[in-house]
Structure 1
Amino acid sequence: MLLTFDSKSINVKKYPLGKITLILISLMAILVTIINFYLTTGGNVVLNFEDVYIHRSSFGASSFSGIFGYLNSWTFKIFSVIFLLWSLEKRNKMLIIISFIFIILLFMFSGHKSTLEALILILFFYFLYIFKNTSSIIIVSFFLLISICIFMGAVFNNNIFESLIIRRLLIVPAHLNFTYLDFFSNNDYIYWSNSILKSFFTYPYDLEMTHVIGEYLGYPKMGANTGFLASGYAQCGVIGVFSYTMFGIIIMNIINLLAKSYLKYFYMSMLFIPLLTLYTSSDFFTTLFTHGLLVAILILFFYDAKKYILKFGKFRLEI
């Protein structure tokens, strides 16, 4: 945090028709992802938060195979977000409704609750920058969210809201960080043998890293994800933590250089979920490539606030 500077944004030469290209790519990615989920799940959907893990265990392997292992995640966290942000920017009610339908369908077919985070975060950041004192609004909103979760739990006698927000957001990541530290202090480091250096090092465990920790906690079927700091320790001890911290500093400063103040709500909405994933539930390189952080940064280069007019005969569309 201390080495991340609030630098003045730089003027990057925009790619011609960058916004149009990104909107079309986002729309195509959303449609292809939904069609793939429909075909691989046979039309089965999940409507209850308590059933999402059963749904994912039944259809996750087929739905996320091949290129869809990347595309699905990019669509959840980047492309669906861009399409909704653009719809809000246009203030087009029909487009906003369609965007909401897309995100709800992605949740219903995939069972990934993170797809619904986009709805809350986008609306939060969209209205946040109406106010001048954003820091105070963020703090008040945080405590209000915690209070609402506790109230809902008491009223409905169900801890699902407290579990999703309080436990999953605040307690679980911290607990898993120390669990990784405890385990890999006494066992072999991975040395990126499960990813970029697998050609040079032999992976030392029979299970994936997340399931190794799940088994260590007494739940062999649980994938215990953690953020980039604990993951860095699992890879190469203190050297891994230091390396990932340096990479994180570079990424944060690149974002600060590219982000434009007049599109602050847009960039905050688009970057928040990949960055949250980086800090709470994924390795650095996995977040960069699989969870869309690199895609989000590339979008900073291409997206612009210009208005474009597309004409198809008498049909006229403003983008």
Structure 2
Amino acid sequence: MGNKNNYILILFLAFLYKLILDYAYTTFLVGNFSYSGFVIKENYIKYFESWVLLFLLITGVVIYTKGMEKPSKVILYIILLNLLVPLLTFYSMQDGARIYLYSILLGFMLTVWIVKRLKDFRVLMIEDSVKPVFFLLAVITLYVYGYLIATGGLSRLSFNLLAVYEVRSVYQQNNSGLMNYLVTWQAYAINMSMLIYALEGRKKQLFFLFLFLQLLLFGMTGLKSFLFAPVVVIGLYYVLKNVRLKNLVLEMMTVGVLFIVSLSVLLYSVFDNINAASIFVRRLLLVPAQLHFVYFDFFSTHETMKLSHSFLSFLYENPYNSPSPVDVIASVVFNNDNFNPNVGYLGDAFSNFGIMGIIVYSIMLGVVLKMLDSVARNVPIYFSAPLIVIPSMALINSALPTSLVTHGILFEITAIWLFSQIFKKTKAEGVPS
């Protein structure tokens, strides 16, 4: 299939994806969740405009990621499909703020441009790093599982999906501080790294050991993302490993999200089953889009926080005396202090510095992604990209600093850098040992 045909296919899939999202919004969301703000404010100009913007967005992404064999492109595709397309739907249905949407789209394309045009950074390589790498991973693994078991992990162990909230509640009462970071890093970075390493080296025993450890981690924490992470990571590994499929990543990711959304809408339309559509269409895709505009509506008319709640507290006074923008929105907009309306990195950027924040955060993310590509230079994309895919999904619902640290993007980049030493050393053999 030629490049022109690929482009046409991507456009067709993206247009179909937005069309089904629009349909789901006007039928399922308006019909069942109008009380939470999912209503229609007709503006036919903006509806037409949203399709033009989608065409330009897809065209720009296809042009700039053409021939890119780097893990950053997977993150860009995740943001495109899980945040930007739903934002276009919400914008067209709710007569959203044009300046805000355009700032987000331009910020994203700025990130794409930086990843494409900025030269790779020089990366320090460590000789004879194989043993230190595995020793470090082993120490963290033993500490994480030892601590969880010592704090009652086995007593609350459950693989019942209906009981995850009870397990999670008990887990969160017994764990805080550094442990919250380590558990996430263990699940998303170490365990996933070892699964892919075992697949690549055909080490069956090691693979099943870390698959068991991942399931054990889910059972002791109740965090559902830990259960589904191996499915996503292993699936992407095999897609990128396949010579015919590795150049169709955007197409396959679009087909995947299109299938999930279509099936969810079908279950609602035919069987009046609300569950799948509520989880995958509402919560996963359109609630994050809605919250972006909620944050804009508030912070465009109120003082931004300028990270006064965080590491710039020495420079700026906190105007709300609140721990974060999330708490401000929960308390002031939703009048619910027990609610956590987390917003993605671009919404958080606006809540702190307005439009300029979107530009600055977009540049920062571009530099981080370029750092990822630089450390992964000696690592095949089928090894590096699956490892970063789960932590990067946090960008849809979390601030950039939180995604980088708490959700493990920086830790995963470090892990890829450590594995790059092994791949470089064993490049002649072709398989890490």
Range of TM-score over shorter length: 0.7 to 0.9
Over aligned residues, Cα RMSD in angstroms? 3.0
Which residue of structure 1 aligns with residue 209 of structure 2? Answer: 98
- Measured against aligned partners, the alpha-carbon deviations of 1:173-214 in whole angstroms (never above 9, x if no partner) come to 111111111222233322212221123334323454323323
Task: Say whether residues 1:191 and 2:303 are aligned partners.
Answer: no
1:68-92 deviation per Cα after TM superposition (whole angstroms, max 9, x unaligned): 1321221122112111111111222
2:326 aligned with 1:210:
yes
Q: Partners in 2 of 1:265 and 1:147 — Cα distance?
A: 28
Is the alpha carbon distance of 1:262 and 1:32 closer, same or farther for their aligned partners in structure 2, counting shifts above 3 Å? Answer: closer
1:204-253 Cα shifts (integer Å, max 9, x gaps): 23454323323423543121211111111111222222211111121222
Name the CA distance, whole Å, in 2 between partners of 1:58 and 1:163: 26
Distance 1:240 1:35 in 2: 41
Q: 1:291 aligns with which of 407, 414, 429?
A: 407
> Hey, what does 1:145 align to over in structure 2?
260
Question: Could you give the per-residue CA deviations for residues 100-122 of structure 1, whole angstroms, max 9, x where no partner exists?
Answer: 11111111111222212321221
Q: Which moved more, 1:218-227 or 1:257-266?
A: 257-266
Whose Rg is larger?
2
Question: Is 1:46–1:108's contact at 8 Å kept on the other side of the alignment?
Answer: yes
Quick one: structure 1 residues 155 and 211, their matched pair in 2 at CA, closer, same or farther if it must change by over 3 Å?
farther
Paired with 2:367 and 2:256, the residues of 1 have a C-alpha distance of 29
Show the counterpart of 2:172: 60
Paired AA for residue 33 in structure 1: V
TM-score under structure 2 length normalisation: 0.63
* Structure 1 range deviating more: 162-171 or 266-275: 162-171
2:375 to 222, 242, 258: 258
**Paired position in structure 2 for 1:39:** 150
**Closer, same or farther in 2 for the Cα pair 1:58/1:13, shift >3 Å?**
closer
- Residue 314 of structure 1 corresponds to none
> Secondary structure of the equivalent of 2:114?
coil
Deviations 1:104-146 (A, max 9, x none): 1111111222212321221221111213442333332332333
* Cα pair distance change 1:264/1:287, threshold 3 Å: same
Alpha-carbon spacing, 1:294–1:105, altered in 2? closer, same or farther (3 Å):
same
**Contact 1:30/1:102 (<8 A) preserved:** no
Match of 1:233 in 2: 350
> What displacement does 1:31 show?
3.1
Quick check: 2:144–2:182 contact (8 Å CA) kept in 1?
Answer: yes
Q: Does the alignment pair 1:243 with 2:360?
A: yes
Which structure has greater helix proportion?
2
State how far apart, in whole Å, the 2-side matches of 1:194 and 1:283 are.
13
Q: How does 1:10-89 map to 2 (within 5 A)?
A: 12=123, 14-41=125-152, 43-63=155-175, 65-89=176-200
Q: Is residue 233–residue 390 contact of structure 2 (8 Å, CA) maintained in 1?
A: no
1:156: Cα distance to partner? 9.2
The number of residues matched between the two structures is 308
**Contact 2:144 2:183 (8 Å CA) reproduced:** yes
- Alpha carbons of 1:187 and 1:41: their partners in 2 closer, same or farther (altered >3 Å)? farther
CA shift in 2, pair 1:159/1:45, >3 Å: farther
Shift of residue 11, structure 1, vs aligned partner: 7.6
Alpha-carbon distance, 1:263 to partner: 1.5
- Correspondence 1:271-310 to 2 at 5 A: 271-278=388-395, 280-304=396-420, 305=423, 306-307=425-426
Which range is displaced more, 19-28 or 224-233? 19-28
In the alignment, which residue of structure 2 is the partner of 1:311? Answer: none
Residue 153 (structure 1) shift: 7.1
Q: CA deviation at 1:34?
A: 2.3
CA contact (8 A) 1:33 1:75 kept: yes
Residues 1:102 and 1:190: Cα distance change in structure 2 (over 3 Å)? same
Structure 2: runs of 5 or more not aligned: 1-108
Give CA deviations for 1:49-68 in whole Å, capped at 9, x if unaligned.
444334333331431x2321
